[in-house]
Structure 1
Amino acid sequence: MKNTNNISRIKSITKFVLILPLLTLLLSGCWWEEETKRESITKGWSPKTFFEQAKDQIAAGSMDKGIELYEQLQAAYPGSKYALQSKLEIAYALYKSEDYEQAIDRLNSYIKLYPNHFSTPYAYYLRGIVSEDKSRSILDGVLTDNAQRDVQSVRDAFNYYLALIDKFPKTEYADEAKSRLIILRNILSRHELFVAIFYTRKEANIAAINRTKYIIEKYPNTPSVPAALHLMAHNYDAINADTLAKDTRRVLQKSYPLYTPHYSLDD
């Protein structure tokens, strides 16, 4: 009985010894396949080389090629600092290509994935810049005014900057965001003034009065406030609210004694 057990044990050991080289060969093949696959992704490049090559492509104007290289970098070296930075570089490249929606989507994803990373304040700031530029035209300040267009992207930018200031108040980007908020408030208040003027032209006087009140309450200390007071008085005149018209003009004269109308009610 003992001899039988020994024979069985010897057979098992012999089988294992025979199988071991096959297992080793199989594992070596898997390793080689993984290395070959990795080599095809990395091209033999380091993360830094990938990053620099992508930047060179972007600088040369080859945005699609640059973005493709950044994405290959992320696939090949997902845990590297260059892979992380490349996410922001892609967002910036999309922004410069005027693909604003995708740029904002990338930045939102970055903020969600890395809420407290040292580079995240920049993501917040860039998101605001991208949203601002969505409503711009090269003719603004010459023939057009972005306050006369849809200002939803301006509102978005305003809220993005507020979120940055709230989340990272002591960063340089928060300081810059504060100055951007002043500009955006002026655009938003000017937009409401254009709407009030539109209602006035249509003789929707109550709607116009409500818009001018909104400007004064929501955007105090903006350049549109004296015009809002002046337009409010005009609309009070139109509905024969003489006392309210006089009171409004008194406030206008006291607060802005040098104001002269700069808008027109002509269509």
Structure 2
Amino acid sequence: MKRLTLTTLLAVALLSGCSSTEEVVPDIPPAELYASAHKALQNGSWTTAIERLETLDSRYPFGAYSEQVQLDLIYAYYKNDDLALGEATIDRFNRLNPAHEKSDWVLYMRGLTSMAQDRSFMHDLFNIDRFDRDPEPARKAFRDFKRLLERYPNSRYANDAKARMVFLKNRLADYELAVADFYLRREAWVAAVNRSQLIQREYADTQAARKSIAIMESAYKELGLAAPLEHTQKLKTLNPI
């Protein structure tokens, strides 16, 4: 009987939560509703802004505010850490507005959204730096910022994109270094060499590239390859950590 009561209460609570949005968002003209959403954005009230913008988007999908509503939602989703929704809204906006005057900003926000997906709440909470975690969001962010620079070299967001690409390049290089070190510790000497060479080829101007030389040196010693070992030792002398 107690289990049934708890289940019923939970169901009621969920239903109340699902129906609360329409009660919270007033039935007012679109201009007033957008003004309310804009005020919430300015105040940093992301959840309130999202509620009003989503309502405006659903009630007036082809209205005078439709483009700006989507742009505001992209920003609000990012600030509220609703990253999947932000990415979906970016895709939708690009489909509907392929040559919009703010396309550079949308591409910049895609990069920021991908970059934010590279971290996790637990990493932030405990200040943990895990270079061995899946780097795919970082790769996506790097591609987004690179595309921004290629398409809009004079964009106001270009300089920040360049700075973020430097950070992301180091992030990706550190991941590859962690993989190379993993192979070394597992005595997979050839794999350790191959991964180190990849780092030096793709991320030559990073600290990880210099550190990978030591991994190659150890691997060549284990493989008994004198000529590559001698070359690597010279390379190590020329590239001190």
The two structures have a TM-score, normalised by structure 2, of 0.80
Report the AA paired with residue 80 of structure 2.
S
Alignment of 1:75-94 (within 5 A): 75-76=59-60, 78-80=62-64, 82-94=65-77
Q: Deviations over 1:75-122 (max 9, x none)?
A: 337342x33121021122222232211211111221222122121111
The answer to whether the Cα contact below 8 Å between 1:125 and 1:177 also exists between their aligned partners in 2 is: yes
Q: Deviations over 1:192-226 (max 9, x none)?
A: 00000001010011001000000000111111111
- 2: CA distance between counterparts of 1:242 and 1:219? 26
Indicate whether 1:171 and 2:133 are aligned: no
Q: Secondary structure at the match of 1:108?
A: helix
Q: How many matched pairs?
A: 214
- 2: CA distance between counterparts of 1:140 and 1:247? 41
- 2: CA distance between counterparts of 1:54 and 1:146? 38
Q: Secondary structure at the match of 1:215?
A: helix
The answer to whether the Cα contact below 8 Å between 2:46 and 2:79 also exists between their aligned partners in 1 is: no
- 1: CA distance between counterparts of 2:69 and 2:169? 33
Q: Secondary structure at the match of 1:53?
A: helix
Identity of aligned residues (%): 28
Report the AA paired with residue 148 of structure 2.
L
Partner of 1:69: 52
Offset, 1:42: 8.9
Offset, 1:251: 1.2
The two structures have a TM-score, normalised by structure 1, of 0.73
Larger relative CO (CA 8 A, sep 6+): 1 or 2? 2
The answer to whether the Cα contact below 8 Å between 2:173 and 2:203 also exists between their aligned partners in 1 is: yes
- 2: CA distance between counterparts of 1:97 and 1:254? 47
Report the AA paired with residue 133 of structure 1.
A
Larger radius of gyration: 1
Offset, 1:61: 3.6
Q: Which runs of 5+ in 2 are unaligned?
A: 1-24
- 2: CA distance between counterparts of 1:121 and 1:42? 34
Partner of 2:101: 118
Offset, 1:46: 4.8
The answer to whether the Cα contact below 8 Å between 1:53 and 1:69 also exists between their aligned partners in 2 is: yes
Partner of 1:230: 214
Offset, 1:159: 0.9
The answer to whether the Cα contact below 8 Å between 2:46 and 2:80 also exists between their aligned partners in 1 is: no
Offset, 1:140: 5.7
Partner of 2:91: 108
